[in-house]
Chain A
Amino acid sequence: MSTVEKFGQMFLAVAIFAAIFGLVLFVVDRIKGRQADRVAAFAFIAPAILLLAWGLLRPAVLTIFRSFKDATGDKWVGFENYSTMFTSSDQLEVLRNTMIWVLVVPFVASAIGLLYAIMVDGTRTESLAKALVFLPMAISMVGASVIWKFVYDYRPTVGSQIGLGNQILVWMGLDSYQFLLNEPWNNLFLIVVMIWIQAGFAMTILSAAIKAIPDDIVEAARLDGVKALGMFRFVTLPTIRPALIVVLTTIAIATMKVFDIVRTMTGGNFGTSVVANEFYTQSFRSNDRGLGSALATLLFILVIPIVTYNVIQLRKADVR
Chain B
Amino acid sequence: MRIYSSKTRRGTAVLACGLGLTLMVTACGSSDDDSPEAKGGDVDCAKFEQYGDLEGKTVSIYTSIITPEDKPHIDSYKPFEECTGATVKYEGSKEFEAQLPIRIEAGNPPDIAYLPQPGSLRTLVAQFPDKFKPAPEEVVKNIDENFDPAWKEYGSVDGKLYAAPLGSNVKSFVWYSPSMFKDNGWEIPTTLDELMTLSDTIAEKGIKPWCAGIGSGDATGWPVTDWLEDFMLRTADTDTYDKWTKHEIPFTDPKVVTALDAVGAILKNDDYVNGGLGNVKTIASTQFQEGGIPILRGECALHRQASFYGSNFAEAGAEIGEDKDVFAFYLPNKTTDEKPVLVAGEFTAAFADRPEVKAFLAYLSSAEWANAKAAISSGWVSANKNADPANFKNPIDKLSVEIIQDPNAVTRFDASDLMPGAVNTAFWKQMTDWITGKSTADALSGVEKSWP
Residues on A facing B (Cβ under 8 Å)? 1-3, 6-7, 10, 71-72, 90, 154-156, 178, 180-181, 183, 267, 269-270, 281, 284-288
Once the chains bind, are A10 and B285 in contact (CB under 8 Å)?
no
A288 to B126, CA, bound (A): 14
Indicate if B101 sits at the interface (CB-CB under 8 A): yes
Once the chains bind, are A270 and B284 in contact (CB under 8 Å)?
yes
Once the chains bind, are B452 and A71 in contact (CB under 8 Å)?
yes
Once the chains bind, are A2 and B218 in contact (CB under 8 Å)?
no
Indicate if B184 sits at the interface (CB-CB under 8 A): no
Once the chains bind, are B278 and A156 in contact (CB under 8 Å)?
yes
A33 to B227, CA, bound (A): 79
Q: Find B436's partner among A1, A10, A181, A286 (CB 8 Å cutoff).
A: A181
Q: Which 4 A-B pairs have the closest CB atoms?
A: A3-B29, A284-B98, A156-B278, A286-B422
Q: Find A180's partner among B33, B98, B285 (CB 8 Å cutoff).
A: B285
Q: Find A155's partner among B21, B278, B429 (CB 8 Å cutoff).
A: B278
Beyond the given pairs A1-B30, A6-B28, A285-B98, 4 more chain A to chain B contacts, judged by CB atoms under 8 angstroms and listed by A's residue number, are A178-B281, A181-B284, A181-B436, A287-B127
Q: Find A285's partner among B126, B218, B278 (CB 8 Å cutoff).
A: B218
Q: Find A287's partner among B30, B101, B220, B282 (CB 8 Å cutoff).
A: B101
Once the chains bind, are B429 and A269 in contact (CB under 8 Å)?
yes
What's the least CB distance linking B423 to chain A, in Å?
Answer: 9
Contacts A1-B30, A3-B29, A155-B278; A285 near B425 (Cβ below 8 A): yes
What's the least CB distance linking A2 to chain B, in Å?
Answer: 6
Q: Which of B97, B218, B433 neighbours the largest number of chain A CB atoms within 10 Å of its CB?
A: B218
What are 14 sample pairs from A and B whose C-beta atoms fall under 8 A apart?
A: A1-B29, A3-B25, A7-B22, A90-B446, A154-B282, A154-B285, A156-B279, A269-B220, A269-B429, A270-B284, A270-B432, A270-B436, A284-B102, A286-B426
Indicate if B240 sits at the interface (CB-CB under 8 A): no
A269 to B28, CA, bound (A): 36
For A8, the closest partner residue in chain B by CB is: B25
A155 to B278, CA, bound (A): 7
What's the least CB distance linking B181 to chain A, in Å?
Answer: 24
Per-residue contact bits, chain B 259-298, to A (CB 8 Å; 1 contact, 0 not)? 0000000000000000001110110110000000000000
A285 to B221, CA, bound (A): 14
A3 to B27, CA, bound (A): 9
Indicate if B50 sits at the interface (CB-CB under 8 A): no
Indicate if B336 sits at the interface (CB-CB under 8 A): no
Once the chains bind, are B426 and A7 in contact (CB under 8 Å)?
no
Set of chain A residues within 8 Å of B281, measured between Cβ atoms: 178, 181
For A273, the closest partner residue in chain B by CB is: B429
Indicate if B450 sits at the interface (CB-CB under 8 A): yes
A269 to B219, CA, bound (A): 10
Once the chains bind, are A269 and B284 in contact (CB under 8 Å)?
yes
Per-residue contact bits, chain B 101-123, to A (CB 8 Å; 1 contact, 0 not)? 11000000000000000000001
A287 to B30, CA, bound (A): 33
> Chain B interface mostly helix, strand, loop or mixed?
helix
Q: Find B285's partner among A181, A284, A286, A288 (CB 8 Å cutoff).
A: A181
Once the chains bind, are B25 and A6 in contact (CB under 8 Å)?
yes
What's the least CB distance linking A274 to chain B, in Å?
Answer: 15
- Residues 181-225 of B contacting A (Cβ, < 8 Å): 217-218, 220-221
For A9, the closest partner residue in chain B by CB is: B25
Q: Find B282's partner among A2, A72, A90, A178 (CB 8 Å cutoff).
A: A178
Once the chains bind, are B422 and A287 in contact (CB under 8 Å)?
yes
Q: Find A267's partner among B28, B33, B123, B218 (CB 8 Å cutoff).
A: B218
Once the chains bind, are A287 and B97 in contact (CB under 8 Å)?
no
Contacts A155-B278, A180-B285, A181-B436; A285 near B25 (Cβ below 8 A): no
What's the least CB distance linking A168 to chain B, in Å?
Answer: 18
Set of chain A residues within 8 Å of B332, measured between Cβ atoms: none
For B215, the closest partner residue in chain A by CB is: A267
For A271, the closest partner residue in chain B by CB is: B433
What's the least CB distance linking B93 to chain A, in Å?
Answer: 13
A164 to B127, CA, bound (A): 47
Once the chains bind, are B436 and A6 in contact (CB under 8 Å)?
no
Set of chain B residues within 8 Å of A287, measured between Cβ atoms: 101, 123, 127, 420-422
Per-residue contact bits, chain B 407-434, to A (CB 8 Å; 1 contact, 0 not)? 0000000000000111001100100110
For A152, the closest partner residue in chain B by CB is: B285
What's the least CB distance linking B212 to chain A, in Å?
Answer: 15
Set of chain B residues within 8 Å of A285, measured between Cβ atoms: 97-98, 218, 421, 425
A255 to B150, CA, bound (A): 50
Contacts A181-B281, A269-B429, A270-B284; A284 near B26 (Cβ below 8 A): no
Set of chain A residues within 8 Å of B426, measured between Cβ atoms: 286
Once the chains bind, are A10 and B25 in contact (CB under 8 Å)?
yes
Once the chains bind, are A269 and B421 in contact (CB under 8 Å)?
no
Set of chain A residues within 8 Å of B284, measured between Cβ atoms: 181, 269-270
A65 to B81, CA, bound (A): 47
A250 to B253, CA, bound (A): 50
Once the chains bind, are A267 and B21 in contact (CB under 8 Å)?
no
A180 to B281, CA, bound (A): 11
Once the chains bind, are A72 and B220 in contact (CB under 8 Å)?
no
What's the least CB distance linking B101 to chain A, in Å?
Answer: 7
Set of chain B residues within 8 Å of A2, measured between Cβ atoms: 29-30, 33
For B426, the closest partner residue in chain A by CB is: A286
Contacts A178-B285, A287-B123; A154 near B101 (Cβ below 8 A): no
A286 to B218, CA, bound (A): 11
Per-residue contact bits, chain B 124-153, to A (CB 8 Å; 1 contact, 0 not)? 001100000000000000000000000000
Once the chains bind, are B127 and A10 in contact (CB under 8 Å)?
no
Once the chains bind, are A3 and B421 in contact (CB under 8 Å)?
no
Q: Which of B22, B29, B285, B452 neighbours the largest number of chain A CB atoms within 10 Å of its CB?
A: B285
What's the least CB distance linking A4 to chain B, in Å?
Answer: 9
Q: Find A286's partner among B22, B421, B433 (CB 8 Å cutoff).
A: B421
